[in-house]
Chain A
Amino acid sequence: MSGRVLVGVKRVIDYAVKIRVKPDHTGVVTDGVKHSMNPFCEIAVEEAVKLKEKKLIKEVVAVSCGPQQSQETIRTALAMGADRGIHVEVSGKDYDSLGPLQVSKILAALAKKEEAQLIILGKQAIDDDCNQTGQMTAALLDWPQGTFASEVSLEAEKIKVVREIDGGLETIKINTPAVLTADLRLNTPRYATLPNIMKAKKKKIANVKPADLGVDLTSRLEVLRVDEPPQREAGVKVETVEDLVAKLKDTGKI
């Protein structure tokens, strides 16, 4: 199989940052907060670049949906080895309500436009933990999906995917074109080396609007309120198992 791979890269708050809820409880503080590429998206980019290095695919296109700053995320993907980027501009209220449904519609439209043969995404984003975009994209395109991939190998016109599931590992073979989502152990993403950072300067990032792709960004969800998780309270020690069971019953836990 040769051809084009679309890789989705999402700009999220950096994993090391301590998240703070906004005083009006409409969301979390993002202004001035360090952002970086979603770690699972890094793994997706790495897998795509590896496939290209093995000459199994021809071109890696990095896609990101979001405001101006999403271009930095695409630039990082280019520095890791992606060939070109597509920035789908979404900002303001549209960006606040952007979710898997809208993104999967965008990715499906782009996949058709770019005649992609493979879409690789991270299994989920570390900000919303939705774990939906890959699955929705595959459904919209009526393509097979290999999610939670910890191993991917291309065999003739099919893809063998080893999936990490609750019961252990599941191996499936799917037809192409297909959607894959990357799990933690799929690979170890490479560092963006200085020579590649320099090469990335010359690579192109195209600007696209969702309307150009015929995508309606209206959200079906409304966020009512965002709160911090309850503060951890001190535990209580009990003497016997009977006491423990009694306490659990008392507090309505069982």
Chain B
Amino acid sequence: TAVAQEVERVVPGCRGLSQLAELPETHQLLRQTCRDYADKELIPVAAKLDKEHAYPAKQIKELGSIGVMAIEVPEDLGGAGMDYLAYCLALEEISRGCASTGVIVSVNNSLYVGPVLKFGTEEQKKRWISPFTTGEKVGCFALSEPGNGSDAGAASTMAHQDGDHWVLNGTKAWITNSWDASAVIVFATTDKKLKHKGISAFLVPMPHSGLSLGKKEDKLGIRASSTANIILEDCRIPLDNMLGSRGAGFKIAMQTLDSGRLGIASQALGIAQASLDCAADYALKRTAFGAPIGKLQAIQFKLADMAVALESARLLTWKAALLRDSKKPFTKEAAMAKLSASEAATFCSHQAIQILGGMGYVTDMPAERHYRDARITEIYEGTSEIQRLVIAGQILKEYQL
């Protein structure tokens, strides 16, 4: 349209900005499907899954048949062939229902299938993607180690060649989906002298000899997803299992995390929305001083602040997704999206408990679970501090040009 063209001329790379007001019909239908699914199948079981730390196998399979476990993967590999905006919409609705289910879907899409799709050979794509599109199998991503999280370049997991095999040794920490996954992408150092340019990526099936799992972490939130160490002791994999070229591991990880940030941003939006829904509903029903507390300005200001934080984070997320879909650079916008969405999630869930008062503190209401689920979004896939460094780095680059 004329408006879209004008917007694109004035703000290059934002063709889709005018789309923000009105989503395309397919995206609306997908959002509605995921919304219905979350309302009917996730919200009723989320508390139980959290309490029992239970992996939602049934729900993940159903989400697989809906087509959201590999949204971006082309149809000939078993995916849905949709774009990242669709992914963000779907993930937000799923996370609104159950944040744990959301992170399982996100890790599979962005951190596992994503890099194989981008950097894998045709053979690798068939072997390592197609079985992971249906929800029957999920994958995971092993970058962090006990000795380094934000300092990803300091990977101490080593890989050396022995005949026609790579041999991996080391320990990876905080790996989401580890206990439920059938494959993992492991980042290991192949050339220590090259520092971060000496890291390579490897595809390892699970279970596999030489790969063992540490204890399942007992987490504050997202408890239905498993998090554990992955221990590699002389883990032998064929040479063909290297993903991308030797030494490209760090670049693969950073590019993968750019997209992963949109997944986590969407998860955070879902948690924030669930908190706002819970708080607004309560504010209309709970009476104090003779009227529903929603009539009190103190409560209204909170709801307004929550809504603004949520909506601005959502628009940042959609913009980053649209840039990515137009194959434009989106590193800065993805970092902004993840930063603002995760801070919106912690803010909204905090205020939701405040609005619910005592009821917000007990498990009868979901507010406390949202509070616990929200907290991790500021930490994983790049802490808020790292996001700020990424954004600042991009801004300084823009000004120096």
Q: In the complex the two chains form, what is the Cα distance from A212 to B280 in whole Å?
A: 48
Q: Which of A71-79, A125-133, A230-238, A243-251 lies on the face that meets chain B?
A: A71-79
Q: Which of B30-38, B138-146, B162-170, B259-267 lies on the face that meets chain A?
A: B30-38
Q: 26 A-B pairs, CB-CB below 8 angstroms? A: A72-B25, A75-B29, A79-B29, A79-B33, A191-B37, A192-B32, A192-B33, A193-B33, A193-B65, A193-B66, A194-B33, A194-B66, A194-B68, A194-B80, A194-B82, A194-B90, A195-B80, A197-B26, A197-B29, A198-B26, A198-B81, A198-B82, A200-B26, A200-B29, A201-B25, A201-B26
Question: In the complex, what residue of chain B is closest to A79 when comparing beta carbons?
Answer: B29
Contact partner, A195, options B25, B36, B75, Cβ 8 Å: B75
Q: Would you give the shortest CB distance from B143 to chain A, in whole angstroms?
A: 29
Binding site for B on A (CB under 8 A): 36, 72, 75-76, 79, 191-195, 197-198, 200-201
Contact partner, B25, options A75, A193, A194, Cβ 8 Å: A75
Q: Is the CB of B30 within 8 A of A194?
A: yes
**Contact A193 B67, CB 8 Å, known A198-B80, A198-B82:** yes
**Residues of chain B with a CB closer than 8 A to A191's CB:** 33, 36-37, 66
**Residues of chain A with a CB closer than 8 A to B37's CB:** 191
* B161-209 CB contacts (< 8 Å) to partner A: none
**Residues of chain B with a CB closer than 8 A to A200's CB:** 26, 29
**Residues of chain B with a CB closer than 8 A to A72's CB:** 25, 28
* B70-96 CB contacts (< 8 Å) to partner A: 71, 75, 80-82, 86, 90
Q: Is the CB of B75 within 8 A of A197?
A: no
**Residues of chain A with a CB closer than 8 A to B29's CB:** 75-76, 79, 192, 197, 200
Binding site for A on B (CB under 8 A): 25-26, 28-30, 32-33, 36-37, 65-68, 71, 75, 80-82, 86, 90
**Residues of chain A with a CB closer than 8 A to B33's CB:** 79, 191-194, 197
**Residues of chain A with a CB closer than 8 A to B32's CB:** 36, 76, 192
Q: In the complex the two chains form, what is the Cα distance from A54 to B231 in whole Å?
A: 50
**Residues of chain A with a CB closer than 8 A to B90's CB:** 194
**Residues of chain B with a CB closer than 8 A to A193's CB:** 33, 65-67
Question: In the complex, what residue of chain A is closest to B80 when comparing beta carbons?
Answer: A194
Q: In the complex the two chains form, what is the Cα distance from A51 to B54 in whole Å?
A: 37
**Residues of chain B with a CB closer than 8 A to A76's CB:** 29, 32
Q: Is the CB of B30 within 8 A of A197?
A: yes
Q: In the complex the two chains form, what is the Cα distance from A45 to B90 in whole Å?
A: 24
Q: Would you give the shortest CB distance from A48 to chain B, in whole angstroms?
A: 19
Q: In the complex the two chains form, what is the Cα distance from A195 to B37 in whole Å?
A: 16
Given A36-B32, A194-B82, A198-B82, 16 more A-B residue pairs with CB atoms under 8 Å apart are A72-B25, A191-B66, A193-B67, A194-B30, A194-B33, A194-B68, A194-B71, A194-B80, A195-B67, A195-B75, A195-B80, A197-B26, A197-B33, A198-B81, A201-B25, A201-B26
Q: In the complex the two chains form, what is the Cα distance from A233 to B394 in whole Å?
A: 63
Question: In the complex, what residue of chain A is closest to B284 when comparing beta carbons?
Answer: A18
Question: In the complex, what residue of chain A is closest to B90 when comparing beta carbons?
Answer: A194
Q: Would you give the shortest CB distance from A174 to chain B, in whole angstroms?
A: 33
Question: In the complex, what residue of chain B is closest to A36 when comparing beta carbons?
Answer: B32
Q: In the complex the two chains form, what is the Cα distance from A72 to B27 in whole Å?
A: 12
Q: In the complex the two chains form, what is the Cα distance from A75 to B25 in whole Å?
A: 9
**Residues of chain B with a CB closer than 8 A to A194's CB:** 30, 33, 66-68, 71, 80, 82, 86, 90
Q: In the complex the two chains form, what is the Cα distance from A75 to B33 in whole Å?
A: 13
Q: In the complex the two chains form, what is the Cα distance from A141 to B33 in whole Å?
A: 36
Q: Would you give the shortest CB distance from A14 to chain B, in whole angstroms?
A: 10
